[in-house]
Amino acid sequence: MADAAFVPMTAVAKPLRDRRLITRGLDRCSLPVFSAWLAPWFVMLAVGLYATYLALRFGLNQTNMDNRFAFGLWIFLDLGVIALGAGAFFSGFLLYIMKLRELQAVINTAVILGFVCYSGAIAVLLVDVGQPLRAWFTFWHPNVHSMLTEVTFCISCYLAVLTLEYLPIVLKNRRLKQNASFLVFEWELHRLVPLLAGIGTLLSFFHQGSLGGLYGVLRGRPFAYRAGLGIWPTTFFLFILSAMAVGPSFLLLVLSAVEGITGKKLVAADVKMTLGKISGWLLIPYVLLKSVDTLVWLHSTSRQAGFRPWEYYCWKPFGFWVLLAEIVVCGFVPAILLIRRATRSRPWMLVLSAALACTGVLLNRFVLTIQTLALPTLAFDKFMVYYPNWQEFAVFGAVVAYAVIVYSLSYRYLPLFPQEKELNRVSRS
C-alpha cells in the first residue's frame, strides 16, 4: 500500500506554511499530499467513534458478545497490541539499562509505538467495560485477589510513563525548541529517561505476566488452565517472554514499512539486524518453553480435568494445525531464521521472519481469547460460535487509524531518526 504522505517533497514555488514546523534538513512531502494521506484514516477514525457512541449509548448488546462469550475481538486487540508494544519497554531497557547504544537510532519510534499501543488498548477497554465513567472504581475499590486489578494499575501507570517519555520527543519540534521554557523542560525530562525506562520495565514485566496469568488460573476452562510455579501459572512467564521476543520484531516491521513507503533510509542495516538477532535469541527459549508447557498440559493437566488431548482440536475451524502454526511455522522457523546471520543479512528474509514471529504471538493471543471460550467445558455444552459485527470491527479500525495518524504526525514534525540525514545524504551522493 503506497503511503503518499511520505513521498519526498518536490520543489514548489512557495514554501508551505507548515514547513516551519519540520526539522531542518529533513525532506517531507507537501501539505496537500500529507492531508490526502491522512484523510482516509480520519474517516476510519470517525466511523470507529460512531460505533463507540452506539456501544456506550445503547450497551454492549450492540456487539455480538454475550454472557457466554464475554471476551471477543476487543480483548484480542488489547492482548495483541500490548504484546507488540512491548518493544517500547524492552528497547528502553536494552538501551538505558544494558547500554546497547545501537538502539539509540530506534528508541524514539519504539516509544511512540508503545504510546499508541497502550493508549489505544486502554481506550478499547473503556468501550468494552461499557461504563467508562465508573472506571475509577477499579482504583478506589480494587479487588486485591484479581490479576485484572494489577493489570489495570500497571497499564495505567505505564501509560503515564510512556507519556513522559514521549513528551521530550514532542518538545524537540523545531518551533517548540524556540521557547526557552520548553527547551529547559525537555532537557530535564531527558535526564529522567533512564529512570523512566527502569520503571517502565518493572511495570511491563508484571502486567504482561498477569495478562497471561489471567487465563492460566481459569480452572473452569481446561483449554486455558495451566499448572503453575507457586501462585503463578506457566502462562504468566510465557506472556512475558513472548512479548519481549516480538517487541523488537514489530519495531523492525514498522521501520521497514516506513522506509519502503517513504523511499528513504531511516535506520542503518546493522541496527535492523540487531533487532532481528535479539528477537531470534529470545524466541528460542520462548518456543522451547511453550512446547514443554503444551506437552505437560496435553498429557497431564488436561487429563486430570477429564479431557483427552484431541478433544480440544476436533471442532472446526480449530484443529491441530493451529497448534502447529503457532509453535512451528510462527515459532521455530522465524527463531532459526533470525539467529542466523546469513538470513538476517537479507532484508526480505529479515522482514519475513519478523512478520512470522509477530503472527505467532498474535495467534497465541487469539487462541487464548477466542478458542478458550468457544470450546465446551461440560457434557451438555455446545461449541460456541462468535463472529464480530461491524461495530466491533469499526472500533478495532479506529485504534489502527489513531495509531497511524499519531505516528504520521510524529514522523512529519519530529526528529525521530538521528541517522536519517546522514544515510540519505550518502544515498544521494
- List of residues 6+ apart from 346 with CB closer than 8 A: none
pLDDT for the residue 332: 94
Spatial contact of 248 and 278, defined as CB atoms under 8 Å apart: yes
pLDDT for the residue 363: 95
Spatial contact of 127 and 395, defined as CB atoms under 8 Å apart: yes
Q: Is the pLDDT higher at 121 or at 66? A: 121
How is residue 229 annotated by DSSP?
E
pLDDT for the residue 379: 74
pLDDT for the residue 238: 92
Query: What whole-number distance in Å separates Cα of residue 366 and Cα of residue 388?
Result: 13
Query: What whole-number distance in Å separates Cα of residue 222 and Cα of residue 422?
Result: 55
Query: What whole-number distance in Å separates Cα of residue 275 and Cα of residue 349?
Result: 13
pLDDT for the residue 291: 94
Q: Stretch 98-109: mean pLDDT, rounded?
A: 89
Give the least confident one: 6-15, 84-93, 302-311, 416-425: 6-15
pLDDT digits (tens, 9 = 90+) for 16-31: 467 888 888 888 888 8
pLDDT for the residue 228: 77
Q: Is the pLDDT of residue 219 over 60?
A: yes
Spatial contact of 91 and 107, defined as CB atoms under 8 Å apart: yes
Q: Stretch 149-174: mean pLDDT, rounded?
A: 88
pLDDT for the residue 177: 82
Q: Stretch 283-300: mean pLDDT, rounded?
A: 93
pLDDT for the residue 70: 83
pLDDT for the residue 231: 75
Residue 313: which pLDDT band, with cuts at 50, 70 and 90?
Answer: confident
pLDDT for the residue 301: 86
Chain centroid to Cα 124, Å, comes to 14
Taking alpha carbons only, the member of 88, 110, 91 closest to residue 100 is 91
Mean pLDDT of the chain: 87
Q: Which residue has the cell 471477543?
A: 72
Q: Stretch 274-302: mean pLDDT, rounded?
A: 92
Residue 404: which pLDDT band, with cuts at 50, 70 and 90?
Answer: very high
- Cα Rg for the chain, rounded, in angstroms? 22
Q: Which residue has the cell 519530529?
A: 414
Q: Stretch 324-352: mean pLDDT, rounded?
A: 93
Query: What whole-number distance in Å separates Cα of residue 336 and Cα of residue 284?
Result: 8
Residue 61: which pLDDT band, with cuts at 50, 70 and 90?
Answer: confident
How is residue 286 written as a grid cell? 520462548
Q: Which helix (H) or strand (E) holds 232?
A: strand 232-233
Query: What whole-number distance in Å separates Cα of residue 368 and Cα of residue 55?
Result: 24
Spatial contact of 221 and 377, defined as CB atoms under 8 Å apart: yes
Q: Stretch 54-58: mean pLDDT, rounded?
A: 89
Architecture of domain 28-420: Up-down Bundle (1.20)
Q: Is the pLDDT higher at 356 or at 264? A: 356
Spatial contact of 357 and 248, defined as CB atoms under 8 Å apart: no
Q: Is the pLDDT of residue 428 over 80?
A: no
pLDDT for the residue 134: 81
pLDDT digits (tens, 9 = 90+) for 8-17: 444 444 444 6
Domain residue limits, the chain: 28-420
pLDDT for the residue 9: 42
pLDDT for the residue 399: 95
pLDDT digits (tens, 9 = 90+) for 108-123: 999 999 999 999 999 9
Residue 4: which pLDDT band, with cuts at 50, 70 and 90?
Answer: very low
Q: Is the pLDDT higher at 415 or at 305? A: 415
